[in-house]
Structure 1
Amino acid sequence: MRLPEGGGEERRDQSAMKIALAQLNLLVGDVPGNAARILDAIDEARSAGAGLVAFSELALCGYPPEDLLFHAGLREDLAAGIRRVRDASRGIAVVIGYPHREDGRWFNAAALFAEGRRLHLHRKNVLPNYRVFDERRYFAPGTEADCVDLDGLRLGLAVCEDVWEPEVPRRLADGGAQLIVVTNGSPYELGKQPEREKLLARRASETGLPFAYVNQVGGQDELVFDGASCVIDGSGRPCVRGEAFTEGLWYCRLDFSDGEPARPRRGDLAAFMPEDEEVYRALVAGVRDYVRKSGFENVVLGLSGGIDSALTLALAVDALGADRVLAVMMPYRYTQPLSLEEAESQARALGAQYEVLPISGMVEAMRGTLADLFAGLPEDVTEENIQSRCRGMLLMAISNKQGRLVLATGNKSEYAVGYATLYGDMAGGFAPLKDCTKTRVYRLARYRNTLSPAIPQRVIDRPPTAELRPGQLDSDSLPPYEVLDEVLDALMLEDLSVKHIAERGFEPGVVRQVLDRVRLSEYKRRQAPPGVRVTRRAFGRDWRYPIVSGYRPSRAND
């Protein structure tokens, strides 16, 4: 596994090793399938001359396994998978993450295998329990941070959160490590990639050691993992960076000599993406993997002629291919000609299947059924919601009959304040835009059109409307989205009070209205489909407010 380098300038006591970072898209719970992919990557790395290949956190079972860890059958699969990886570690060393069972407890572990033997096992010391992480529910913390020798290179292993605090890297450095290999299951959120590298640079400056950081890639339920695996040298500079949202192996050659930190050579260094491209790529990955990993091949969505459904259609086509996407326009008397024209125009331009199913008969039949019960009562949002629920019923019927996953088209702004209809436009199996505010939806639509024409300009330019009554606009019921979205970010990302949000220049009455609507809409969000998480705090795993509560944020004095 030690690979002497050519060239007469090297010192005699200096060695070199080529390492591979295996950035794979794995499926939680599919241990046999994951093991097969891992073995293929081991073979590829060995053929490329690598002496070490590293995989991501809990790669064997996929991350996060959640309550699957309670199933005895998974334990049996893991034992078989570990044997397969161990036996494949001939002619190459393998660092891999997997759940390790010991004395009746699970540990989130990373192991080093070589020549058919396990040489070292590191148990994750620092277990995260915040935002989307809940590891203390499943794992016991490790207490040791030791090093191991591999062909003259002294390695330290760490697992993800271990390097977000300085203690484990410091102990590995004190133990003589020349390189720290970090296995990770680090989910994507906007700005996370440079944040990770800044953290690794800080640990490198503290220890003087290089870090080889390998992350998984792909979607898993609400989470998307962006990969962006990297090697950071002992001065904190990136030497290798894998492309985000892309499977593959990235290589780095290390020079090392006794007692000195390894010296990574510069290799492929993928550039960070601009913000809109990064978010769009995350959404595409989330849609693609949720649909395929759920066992679906095709999707259906309601195409209204509005911006949200237009962006959702573009995402679906980019993620799955136009032949797997059915867009359904479901007009009623309030649907404007522009909506009909642009919905058809977009579907035809993208090559998606397109159908028009008018809902007038359904709506009138339902209103007729309720006429006696509603006699003497004025029309209100009830009649508007009937339209939305008729559309939801049609989409679910198509889903049942044709085996298509329904994509809900709502955005974060709407879900936040309840501007959506339960069992209507909220119906679906997955909501791609669930963590994208309305202002971000517009940004992403404009970005997508820089790649190729995908979303009609008239759809982008028109004022947002649900078209559930004559002349209706979103602004009739909501503050301007530019205001609403900033208030929501202050609430969700910073946990600010009415007072502190208002101090940023917003009307206190508007802020109170928004916070009250967020509170009152909790019951709706609990019934919403999952969606791609792209910000630091989304409605889902990291938003855990009670449905029933006496707390009134709009009346809080803090």
Structure 2
Amino acid sequence: MTATKRAKTTNGVSRAQRARSTRTRDARPATTQRQTVSLALVQFAPRKGDVRANFERIEQVFAALRHDKEGFPAVVVFPEASLSGYFVEGGVAEVALPATTVLQRLNRAASAACGANHEPFDVVLGFYEDDRGKLYNSALYATLSATPALRHVHRKLFLPTYGVFDEERFVSRGRTIEAFETRHGRVAILICEDACHAVAVTIAALRGAQIVYIPSASPGRGLEDVEPANVRMWRDIMRVAAAEHGIFMVYAGLVGFEGGKGFTGASRLMGPFGDLRVEAPFDGAAIVRTTISLADVNIARAALPALGDLESNLSEITAMFDKEVANRPAGAPPSARP
């Protein structure tokens, strides 16, 4: 792994904290997909509750990337709740937007920063969504261009409501995990705690995802060591999940403080061999640049065919899940099984 380096910031966002990905195996020849994908992981500290200001900061990020010597990335990945900050709680209705509105405003920001005729690029961004009055913690995948397109909206399924978290009081749960085609591979989105549940990553992989994007807002916990315990936890979760399923996992973390709670960025790319390709510092804004080869997915799955083994046993495993659901009283914890 090539470590990131600290740098001066421009408009509150570091442009040069970046690292190139490294690969331990030769890539296969390109097939029908674009095999090489350049990424920018934006470690972002939004202004709490100020949607307009945060769109302006996103425009500044696009402008910084436009002038980056590495060229503009294919996919720009922002954290969870990038338009408002995470801990808005009862104020979520005031900052939530329809996904189509977010797409339009992102596209205006891209045009302002890069010119109306800029080359198309894709964006992953977390935000609070208003879908006809129903509120969600969501993330979209969109292509920004002269003809912008909303590719997918993922709504967070696992809403933490414990400790410092209170999500389920203020937003509704998502109901599905989907993989979908993009210009840069077949991908899925999981938001923060979604990715902590092994079954969620498994569903994404079974549905064909080569890349799982994880917008996150993770408050620092376990501060007795040189790095917060939650940073180590996320690294371990991603390493195991990536290796088991032979997928890339791309994590973009919120930073900054909200109500005395500090978020640990540590934005990272985990390769499909469970290899850490790049990781940002856990404190401070950063833009991390890296490039991946989708050919590594097939190589990893051939070396460790765990996903294929799972597919071979899927009907039996599904039957076990069905039996567990059928035998469990509604709302009962595991200890209350008959």
Match in the other structure for 1:91: 120
Contact 1:186 1:215 in 2 (8 A): yes
Report % sequence identity.
Answer: 25
Compared CA separation, residues 146 and 202, structure 1 to 2 (3 A): same
Which 5+ residue runs of structure 1 have no aligned equivalent? 1-7, 264-558
Contact 2:96 2:135 in 1 (8 A): no
The Cα RMSD (Å) is 2.5
2:34 corresponds to 1:11: no
2:202 corresponds to 1:170: yes
Higher relative contact order (CA 8 A, sep 6+): 2
Match in the other structure for 1:214: 252
Match in the other structure for 1:61: 84
- Aligned partners of 2:273 and 2:35: how far apart in 1? 20
Contact 1:210 1:262 in 2 (8 A): no
2:192 corresponds to 1:154: no
Contact 2:246 2:300 in 1 (8 A): no
**1:347-386 paired onto structure 2 within 5 Å:** none
1:201 counterpart letter in structure 2:
R
- Give 1:218 shift: 0.9
Compared CA separation, residues 125 and 262, structure 1 to 2 (3 A): farther
User: Rg bigger for which structure?
Assistant: 1
- Aligned partners of 2:240 and 2:289: how far apart in 1? 23
Which one of the candidate residues 117, 121, 136 is aligned to 2:168? Answer: 136
- Aligned partners of 2:250 and 2:265: how far apart in 1? 13
Match in the other structure for 1:310: none
What SS is found at the alignment partner of 1:205?
A: helix
- Aligned partners of 1:253 and 1:163: how far apart in 2? 22
Match in the other structure for 1:42: 62
Match in the other structure for 1:229: 267
Which one of the candidate residues 293, 297, 308 is aligned to 1:255? Answer: 293
Compared CA separation, residues 130 and 153, structure 1 to 2 (3 A): same
Deviations 1:111-152 (A, max 9, x none): 011032211111111111111111101111111111122214
- Give 1:42 shift: 2.5
Deviations 1:410-464 (A, max 9, x none): xxxxxxxxxxxxxxxxxxxxxxxxxxxxxxxxxxxxxxxxxxxxxxxxxxxxxxx
- Give 1:103 shift: 4.1
**Which protein is richer in helix relative to its size?**
1
Compared CA separation, residues 121 and 210, structure 1 to 2 (3 A): same
Match in the other structure for 1:183: 215
How many residues are aligned here?
A: 254
2:90 counterpart letter in structure 1:
D
Contact 1:111 1:118 in 2 (8 A): yes
What SS is found at the alignment partner of 1:200?
A: helix
What SS is found at the alignment partner of 2:209?
A: coil
- Aligned partners of 2:176 and 2:99: how far apart in 1? 23
Which one of the candidate residues 56, 62, 74 is aligned to 1:51? Answer: 74
- Aligned partners of 1:9 and 1:211: how far apart in 2? 18
Contact 2:27 2:296 in 1 (8 A): no
Deviations 1:66-119 (A, max 9, x none): 111244xx3479976552114445621110001112243111111011032211
- Aligned partners of 2:99 and 2:90: how far apart in 1? 15
Match in the other structure for 2:237: 199
Which one of the candidate residues 44, 47, 51 is aligned to 1:31? Answer: 51
- Aligned partners of 2:184 and 2:57: how far apart in 1? 29
- Aligned partners of 1:157 and 1:55: how far apart in 2? 12
- Aligned partners of 1:120 and 1:251: how far apart in 2? 24
2:39 counterpart letter in structure 1:
I
- Aligned partners of 1:76 and 1:205: how far apart in 2? 36
Deviations 1:4-50 (A, max 9, x none): xxxx9862426211101000111110101111111221233344331
- Aligned partners of 1:20 and 1:98: how far apart in 2? 18
What SS is found at the alignment partner of 1:19?
A: strand
- Give 1:245 shift: 0.9
Q: Scaled by the length of structure 1, what TM-score is found?
A: 0.43
- Aligned partners of 1:54 and 1:161: how far apart in 2? 17
Structure 1 residue runs of 4 or more that deviate by more than 6 Å after TM superposition: 76-79
2:158 corresponds to 1:126: yes
Compared CA separation, residues 76 and 144, structure 1 to 2 (3 A): closer
Compared CA separation, residues 9 and 27, structure 1 to 2 (3 A): closer
- Aligned partners of 1:247 and 1:186: how far apart in 2? 14
- Aligned partners of 2:196 and 2:87: how far apart in 1? 18
Deviations 1:273-304 (A, max 9, x none): xxxxxxxxxxxxxxxxxxxxxxxxxxxxxxxx
2:131 corresponds to 1:102: yes
1:58 counterpart letter in structure 2:
A
Q: Scaled by the length of structure 2, what TM-score is found?
A: 0.69
2:104 counterpart letter in structure 1:
R
Compared CA separation, residues 75 and 181, structure 1 to 2 (3 A): closer
- Aligned partners of 2:280 and 2:178: how far apart in 1? 28
Compared CA separation, residues 83 and 9, structure 1 to 2 (3 A): closer
- Aligned partners of 1:207 and 1:21: how far apart in 2? 22
Match in the other structure for 1:307: none
- Give 1:185 shift: 0.6
Compared CA separation, residues 152 and 138, structure 1 to 2 (3 A): same
- Aligned partners of 1:76 and 1:136: how far apart in 2? 18
What SS is found at the alignment partner of 1:133?
A: coil
What SS is found at the alignment partner of 1:260?
A: helix
Deviations 1:151-208 (A, max 9, x none): 1411111100001111221111011111101000111122221111011112223322
Compared CA separation, residues 86 and 262, structure 1 to 2 (3 A): farther
2:134 counterpart letter in structure 1:
R
**1:89-488 paired onto structure 2 within 5 Å:** 91-114=120-143, 115=145, 116-189=148-221, 190=223, 191-257=229-295, 260=298
**Which protein is richer in strand relative to its size?**
2
- Give 1:260 shift: 3.3
